[in-house]
Amino acid sequence: MKYRLYDTSSEWVNKNESLEEHLNIPSENTFRYAEVSQVTNSNNAEYGKYIMPVCTSGTWKCDDQFNPSELVDSDPTWEKGAPGE
């Protein structure tokens, strides 16, 4: 799993809708690709950005729909209450 951070909720929503179309979601057992989440730790440089999970393998693999240079690994300090906050 990788992640793509977006500055605005509208950017996040637009990409999520695009991914759902690409992945044929909704389907029999899947109703959405992702749920909105944000970087909530105010001490993190990415505070307030919207986090898009990017599947890199499996049924919902979609990393080919992103620029690889914009993908990042998960950061445990994205969440409020994380170590270092």
Where exactly are the structural domains of the chain?
2-66
DSSP 8-class letter at 49: P
Q: What residue spans of 4-75 are helical by DSSP H?
A: 9-22
**Tell me, what's the pLDDT at 82?**
60
Query: What pLDDT sits at residue 83?
Result: 61
pLDDT of 80? 84
- Report the pLDDT averaged over residues 49-72: 97
Mean of the pLDDT values across residues 19-48?
A: 94
Distance in angstroms (rounded) separating the CA atoms of residues 5 and 7: 7
pTM for this prediction: 0.89
Paired tokens of 72? 């990042």
SS3 54: strand
Pairing, β 50-54 against β 2-6: antiparallel
